[in-house]
Amino acid sequence: MLLVIDVGNTNLTFGVYKGEELAATFRMTTKIPRTSDEYGVMISQILQAKGLGTDLLEGSVIASVVPDVMHSLVGGVSRYTGTTPLIVGPGVKTGIRIVTEDPRAIGADRIVDAVAAYEKYGGPVLVLDFGTATTYDLITEKGEFSAGITAPGIRISSEALWKQTAKLPNIEIKKPGSILAQETITSMQAGLMYGQIGQTEYIIRKVKEESGIADLKVVATGGLGRIIADETDTIDIYDSSLTLDGLRILYEKNQGKKK
């Protein structure tokens, strides 16, 4: 079995693969400081609760955009699973060529998503990840990571509204029944959700226009991505396991294994 870990700004997302099958997933909050023993014990206990012992793990791989957690996390994984994690970063074989001005500035999570989308769906493909930030990454037919757009995520926008204003509340993020809101909460929900839908559709159109790729496939992932994907026909595929699949694919590429 393979343990894959996506370290995001909000959550750590874990997956366990049996071959190409995603057998289990679970999450932890990123912002809570933990020691290596705490990570190790929590991972071990959760796996046992799911009927998956750490003794069955043959490897592990981590992609992270939060450097501060890595020392403890890597130590915990190594000590409690008996595997040495592959860390996604410079020197790791990806099969994707980054042709932006500063390739080293591209986040590990975006590289993982790009690898997964290109391997699973081919190119050209535009990869959308609705996470803490909303990202749009263009991968060409030849597998070149050629451009990326970064926007505030829906949750960040929501938090900015209630934290920076005296009377606006913290709200549940969901699409209201109508954009014609008549009270505060639904007016905020309408602005957030329809604003995100409009942003998504406009950026996709502009990417197609400026790249000249009219038949560009659009693949979305991320926690709130399904809500957006269900509301627009500009997104072709919503893939909830895209990032975890990308970590598995990267591990296999770097272990000399066939897909």
Distances (CA, A) of 126 to 120, 219, 242: 13, 6, 13
For residue 124 the two structure tokens come to 């050209």
Q: Maximum CA pair distance of the chain?
A: 58
Of 109, 129, 137, 245, which is the active-site residue?
109
Q: Using CB atoms within 10 A of its CB, is residue 24 exposed (0-12), middle (13-18) or buried (19+)?
A: middle
Q: Is 109 a catalytic residue?
A: yes
For residue 223 the two structure tokens come to 């926690």
125-130 and 133-139 beta bridge pairing: antiparallel
Q: What is the C-alpha separation between 90 and 85, in angstroms, rounded?
A: 15
CA angle 58/61/65 to nearest 5° reads 165
Q: How far is CA 124 from the centre of its chain?
A: 19
Q: Which of 255, 243, 197 is nearest to 5 (CA)?
A: 243
- Active site members: 109
